[in-house]
Structure 1
Amino acid sequence: MTISLYDAVIPTQLQIIAAVRALVDKAKADCEDKGTAPEEIIGARLIENMQPFSYQVKCCREHSLGAIEAVREGVFTPSLAAPPGDWEGLYEKLDEAKAGLEAVSEAEMEGFVGQHMEFRFKDTVMPFTAENFLLSFAQPNFYFHATTAYDLLRARGFPIGKLDFIGMPRMKRA
Structure 2
Amino acid sequence: MTISLYDAVIPTQLQIIAAVRELVDEAKAHCEEKRIPPEEIIGARLIEDMLPFSYQVKCCREHSLGAIEGVKEGVFTPSIAPPPEDWAGLYELLDEAKTGLEAISEADMEGFIGQHMEFRFKEAAMPFTAENFLLSFAQPNFYFHATTAYDVLRARGLRIGKRDFLGMPRMKRV
TM-score, normalising length from structure 1?
Answer: 0.99
Distance 1:8 1:149 in 2: 22
Q: Distance in 1 between matches of 2:121 and 2:154?
A: 31
How much does 1:76 deviate? 0.5
Where does the alignment leave 5 or more consecutive residues of structure 2 unmatched? none
User: Which residue number in structure 2 is paired with residue 64 of structure 1?
Assistant: 64
In 2: Cα distance, 1:26 partner to 1:123 partner: 39
1:17 — aligned with what? Answer: 17
Q: Distance in 1 between matches of 2:121 and 2:38?
A: 32
**How far apart are the structure 1 equivalents of 2:156 and 2:122?**
35
Q: Distance in 1 between matches of 2:49 and 2:20?
A: 23
Counterpart-to-counterpart distance in 1, 2:149 and 2:35: 21
Paired position in structure 1 for 2:117: 117
d(CA) in 2 for partners of 1:37, 1:43: 10
CA drift at 1:156: 1.3
1:157 aligns with 2:154: no
- Rounded to whole Å, the distance in 2 between the matches of 1:40 and 1:13 is 27
Residues of 2 paired with 1:98 and 1:72: CA distance? 17
Summarize deviations over 1:93-152 as a string: whole Å, max 9, x none: 000000000000000000000000100111111000000000000000000000000000
| Whole-angstrom CA distance in 2 between matches of 1:122 and 1:68 | 20
Equivalent position SS for 2:98: helix
Whole-Å separation in 1 of the counterparts to 2:122 and 2:79: 12
Cα distance in 1 for residues equivalent to 2:63 and 2:54: 14
Q: How does 1:2-41 map to 2 (within 5 A)?
A: 2-41=2-41
Per the alignment, residue 147 of structure 1 pairs with: 147
- How many residues align? The count is 174
**Counterpart position of 1:128:** 128
CA deviation string 1:34-77 (max 9, x = no partner):
11000000000001110000000000000000001000000001
Distance (whole Å) between structure 2 residues aligned to residue 119 and residue 163 of structure 1:
32
Amino acid at match of 1:60: C
Per-residue deviation, 1:82: 0.4
Partner of 1:97: 97
Report how far residue 157 of structure 1 moved. 1.4
Aligned equivalents of 2:158, 2:123: Cα separation in 1: 40
1:82 matched to which residue of 2?
82
Q: 1:149 is matched by which residue type in structure 2?
A: A
User: How far apart are residue 78 of structure 1 and its match?
Assistant: 1.1
